[in-house]
Amino acid sequence: MRDPLTPLQEAVEEIRREKVRGARWALYRAVRAVIESVENGATCSDAERIAKSIINANKSMAPLYNLSLAILEGCKKGLDPSKTARKVLDYYSKSLERIRMEARSFREPIKIITISYSSTVEALILASKQNFAKVIVLESRPGGEGALLAATLRDSGLPVELIPDTATPLRIEEVDYVIVGADAVTRDGCLVNKLGTRQLAMIAGQSGKPVVAVFDSLKIHPESTCDSHPIEERSYIAPGYGPVRYPLFDKTPRSLVSYMLTERGVNKYEVSVLREAWEDMMREILE
């Protein structure tokens, strides 16, 4: 007999192999797989297996952890895993819309620099294109997903420039803000994002440029700390050398981040606000 969790197991392998698409894609893929698994016969009796599989897909991504936790807690309340998974996705969609509305926080045309391809940062910028005089995007090597964001923004008519990661010190003085996304935010305020984010934040701090982290509350990890949060690794082939392993993400300390922009608005980057936001999110999902 076919295991009802086969769709989820296939999704886990796909998420593990992915090198470019981030937390938003991984969440959508996992939710779709949970729904398919329930359609195949999975129930709350499989909740522990479902949760473990989701977490193991990518331990660095907080939305996957929160999805797994919500499924476990939802089953305690009599909600089948697919219903809870849909509610998580609904919460994410509403959060993204609220973040788009917060684009009004930037009241005049500003110049920014960002790294990698955050769907949340993209949504913020596209929601208020007139407020962005220029967007500088780092290539985000290895992987180079920054080029995808730059192309998307350029095609929308925004003034965009793609630059090598190493050019950051030469260009940081031109911008008003550094805006970055997050794949996870630890309970002590460490920002986990694409490799190179910490270096960008450090350069920003030396130049007196505020760093704004843009994320929804699904990115907040309620248990992990800056020291304990796991970092996934990948490998690539360096011409003339061979295989090289590298961490997908780095950790930016709370002290290097000035503000957070979430579905709750703009706030100073403080741990107490993070915990409150996470608790409100879980309450809304499980109600």
- Just list the catalytic residues: 183
Tokens of 50: 């479902």
Phi, psi at 121, each rounded to 5°: -65, -40
Q: What single letter denotes the amino acid at residue 236?
A: Y
| CA 216 distance to own-chain centroid | 8
Q: H-type helices in the chain, by residue range?
A: 6-17, 23-39, 47-57, 62-76, 81-101, 119-127, 146-155, 168-171, 197-206, 271-286
Residue 283's contacts (CB-CB under 8 Å, 6 or more residues apart) are none
In the chain, what's the furthest Cα-to-Cα distance? 62
Contacts of 260 (CB under 8 A, 6+ apart): 212, 213, 214, 215, 266, 267, 268, 269, 273, 274
Looking up tokens 């460490």 gives: 190
3-class SS of residue 110: strand
The DSSP secondary-structure symbol of 240 reads T
Query: Peptide bond before 164: cis, by omega within 30 degrees of 0?
Result: no
Q: How far apart are CA 131 and CA 217, in angstroms?
A: 25
- Rounded CA-CA distance 258/278 in Å is 19
